[in-house]
Structure 1
Amino acid sequence: MTLEDAKAQKEEITRLADLKVKKEKSKKKLKKVLINQELKARAKKLAAFEAKRAKIMEEYNHCINFIKDPFPITKFSYRVNNSTKEATMRITRNHQPINLVMYGKFILNMLGFTEWMKLHALASKS
């Protein structure tokens, strides 16, 4: 082996060592970029989830407040389907209708509308 071959071999070894160092640095940099992208994606998903959760809680609180608020009942509407004998009652509170379907005589007796429903059914048939 000549002196020139030894120098060339030494240069090749140092070049390969430098390439390894560059490769390691680029891998670390790429990992940081991927981690930042993942963090941004996770933050975006978390923000969307929190917005959805806040919307659900707002709707839930609105429903609870609507049930608890003593809005004046402004209108009652009753309807009996002759073929199915299904009674439907519509209560309007604060100009927002609530539809209730009543099944069986137990609920009608609880509400005190049994006699009225029987009379209404007879009147609607004739």
Structure 2
Amino acid sequence: MKPNELKYPHLFKERRPLIAGRVFFVPDYYFEHHLFSFPALEDERLFGNSNPVFVEYCSGNGSWIVEKAKACRDKNWIAVERDFERARKIVSKTVNGKLANLFVVCGEALTFTRHYLRDQSIEG
């Protein structure tokens, strides 16, 4: 998969939280987060197991977290990156590397943490 193959899933006026493949899109200027039920980390849409989960905020192009996901397949990893161009590079590396233990969040870190991780258990 090439990074430019990942398209942003909706127009600004249609924005809403959305899980598409290995990516969770958290839109900017969206104020109804309570309407979306983020699945448990063990859910098949995310990891499908109960391995410990680690989060990297501001993941950039994903170099560090992709290497960690490859080296530590017994751990689950969440890459949080606000910039869509960078997030799509992480998704490309995730798909090409067949990294089922890496999930990408494209959105603002505080919003994701406050509204979607609040009841989840994170190791680090």
TM value normalised by structure 2: 0.21
Name whichever structure is richer in helix by fraction: 1
- Higher Cα radius of gyration: 1
More RCO (CA 8 Å, sep 6+): 2
